[in-house]
Amino acid sequence: MNSIAELLGFIRFDSEDTTRVARLLERLRPDLPAIADRYLELLANAPDAAPSVATPEQVSRIREGVIEWLETSLRGPHDHAFYVGRLHAGARHIPEAWPQHRTVTFIHVVRMAYHHRIAALYPPAEAWALVDSVNRLLDLELACLVRHYQLTHRPSQSERTREERDERLVSLQTLTAGLAHEIRNPLNAAKLQLELVERRLRRADAEERLVTPVELAQSELVRLTSLLTDFLTFAQPVRLNPLSHDVVKLVAAVCDEQRPAAEDRGATLRFVPGRETLVANVDGPKLTQVADHLIRNAIEVVLAGGEVVVELMTTDNSIELEVHDSGPGIPEAVRARIFEPFFSTKEGGTGLGMSIVHSLVALHGGAIRLDTGPHGTRFGVSLPLG
């Protein structure tokens, strides 16, 4: 339920209820401070809530807030502005770590206090109608508070997706580390044996047709060893070693190294630093690895005449590295899996490059974002300016 109209309709709080509780305010106003004090007494006796009423200033602030809450609740009007005000009041008065049962307790204290005062002030026939209206009003208040909790504490879809991806990542890293270590020993043994065979064949002046398959097998083992290195980079726990580095120099060096690859494709690689130097505490080799992956991937998707632009900027508290290519963009089906380990659209690719980038950025306490469309793709990396 996302609107006051839906809540009012569901709870069946109507104009007659609004009139009744507004009139009730005049009779109950003298009792509101006592209701607030009753709630403060419960907080003081609850171990998990006592720190919130440990000082006279805290007690006074909560007491005034409760009295104001009760007055506006009875007075109304219970319209969209009331609903929005309740959400804002929740954000202002309810601590982030405040348990939901404390809110239910607050509503219960108010409900019972209202019932007792109504029974003492009104004849039975009139009292029953007022109790019904008060119950619906407090159900409305509880619904608004629950909605506040949902908006404040429920993780967003992107957060849930990131948490699920991180959980899968840990499982895959554990599995990959074990497999990589098991594979490395027989792989090294096979490589040594092939080198021995090749040396013996050459000493015996064997025909080239016998040597060629051995060389091919050796080259494949070299490729497998490179893949294994990627697996271990992905799987092994990585520790950050932040030191003072000029980030402009780090990124410029990567651009210089990758520029020939861009020229081979008939494309242009431009580096646009926002300043001449940018000294920050970062892990230089790991940041270089992030920039290398992003720039190399961008070069691989641009066509002849295309362009890759690398920008380095700063905000008040972050380093912003952006890599923009003029390629065709990333298909929608691929976007959601772009950081998923072992997912690749490249023939022979391991699918670990962007997973490693994601891990290294997260290790720095940063974030990576993706913006893509038919006119190109932009990866943005934000790192704390430490």
Q: pLDDT tens digits, residue range 42-53?
A: 777 776 666 666
**One domain for residues 44 and 112:** yes
pLDDT digit string (tens) for 292-331? 999 999 999 999 999 999 999 988 788 999 999 999 998 8
Average predicted confidence (pLDDT) for the chain: 81
Query: Domain span at residue 106?
Result: 4-153
**Neighbour count for residue 323 (Cβ, 10 Å):** 23
pLDDT above 70 (res 160): no
**One domain for residues 147 and 168:** no
Mean pLDDT over 214-242 rounds to 73
Residue 96 confidence (pLDDT): 46
pLDDT above 80 (res 227): no
Residue 322 confidence (pLDDT): 95
Q: Is the dihedral of CA 22, 28, 33, 37 positive or negative?
A: negative
CATH of the domain at 313: 3.30.565.10
**One domain for residues 15 and 79:** yes
Instruction: Report the percentage of the chain scoring pLDDT > 90.
Output: 26
**One domain for residues 263 and 358:** yes
**One domain for residues 314 and 350:** yes
Reference 9, options 134, 140, 148; nearest CA is 140
Give whole-number Cα distances, 158 to 70, 161, 165, 331, in Å: 37, 5, 10, 19
pLDDT band at 259 (very low <50, low <70, confident <90, very high): very high
pLDDT above 50 (res 1): no
| 191 vs 344, higher pLDDT | 191
**One domain for residues 27 and 54:** yes
Report how many domains make up the chain. Answer: 3
pLDDT band at 248 (very low <50, low <70, confident <90, very high): very high
| Final residue in a domain of this structure, among 175, 209, 235 | 235
**One domain for residues 98 and 145:** yes
Q: Is the dihedral of CA 173, 174, 176, 178 positive or negative?
A: positive
Structure tokens at 304: 């002849």
| Final residue in a domain of this structure, among 133, 153, 173 | 153
pLDDT band at 284 (very low <50, low <70, confident <90, very high): very high
| Final residue in a domain of this structure, among 219, 235, 251 | 235
pLDDT above 80 (res 212): yes
**One domain for residues 148 and 163:** no
**One domain for residues 144 and 180:** no
**One domain for residues 146 and 161:** no
CATH of the domain at 137: 1.10.490.10
**One domain for residues 110 and 176:** no
Residue 92 confidence (pLDDT): 45
Reference 86, options 36, 13, 9, 149; nearest CA is 149
Contact (CB, 8 A) for 244 and 282? no
Structure tokens at 206: 């064997």
Give whole-number Cα distances, 152 to 51, 155, 196, in Å: 22, 8, 66
**One domain for residues 145 and 169:** no
**d(Cα 318, Cα 359) in Å, to the nearest integer?**
18
Lookup result for tokens 């969209």: 80
